Amino acid sequence: MPELMINGPVGRLEARYHHEPRPHAPIAMILHPHPQLGGTMNNQIVYAMYYAFVERGYSTLRFNFRGVGRSQGFFDNGPGELADAASALDWLQLQNQDTSCCWIVGASFGTWIAMQLLMRRPEVDSFICIAPPANLYDFSFLAPCPSSGLLINGDKDKVVPTASVAEMSVKTKVQRGIKLHHEIVPGANHFFENKIEDLVKVCGAYIDQRTPEILKAKREAKD
């Protein structure tokens, strides 16, 4: 896969991209875990989710936040990473101006960034939050959450307890008609070690269910 550099707010962002050539192909962007705790775009969760979307015919992007890998800049504890994600999404949309559907996916810290981006970009149709650190970061800005999505974690996660994710799924205010689904992967820890296939299976089923719903709603809105 060829190296790709995207112009970000403070310099180049190292990325990997699959372009789906068919007309109106949906798009997806995957955000990696905490940069200062070893998170990169090559994290096994990010890598697996990237190919889950590629295999479903999505134009798909993953990238390194500032200061990670060959991305320029320095870790900014949130605001800068959000700016990076916004620039990456701009780039992805520019490559797919006729896209039919837009998803964002985050892993751990990446979910916190993804959800902030969701609140700023109404064109995002759905999301997946993998091991969202609801016990470590404030997600109260989701008021209300504008899109339906999936929250998923492992029941052996010692970083983010299942109870905190369950509470997030119940207490998050949503717009009318919006639903948050919460799934738990048995035996999975925070990094889904030896449980990546189970993670992809659950997430893939949600993508397969949700995408036709989004496309149908958009067609009906046009009629």
* CATH code, domain with 167: 3.40.50.1820
Helix residue ranges, H only, the chain: 44-54, 79-95, 109-120, 162-171, 196-222
Residue type, 53: F
Total of domains in the chain: 1
Residue 4 above 70 pLDDT? yes
Under the banding of pLDDT at 50, 70 and 90, the label for residue 76 is: very high
Note the pLDDT of residue 208: 98
Write out the DSSP string of 106-150.
EETHHHHHHHHHHHH-TT--EEEEES--TTTS--TT-TTB-S-EE
- Domain containing 201: what range? 4-18+25-222
Structure tokens at 62: 């993953």
Q: How many CA atoms lie within 13 A of 21 on its CB side?
A: 0
Residue 2 above 70 pLDDT? no
Query: What CA–CA distance (Å, rounded) separates 103 from 183?
Result: 18
163-200 pLDDT per residue, tens: 999 999 999 999 989 999 999 999 999 999 999 999 99
Residue 221 above 90 pLDDT? no
Residue 86 above 80 pLDDT? yes
Under the banding of pLDDT at 50, 70 and 90, the label for residue 222 is: confident
Report CA Rg, the chain.
16
pTM listed for this prediction: 0.97
Under the banding of pLDDT at 50, 70 and 90, the label for residue 19 is: very high
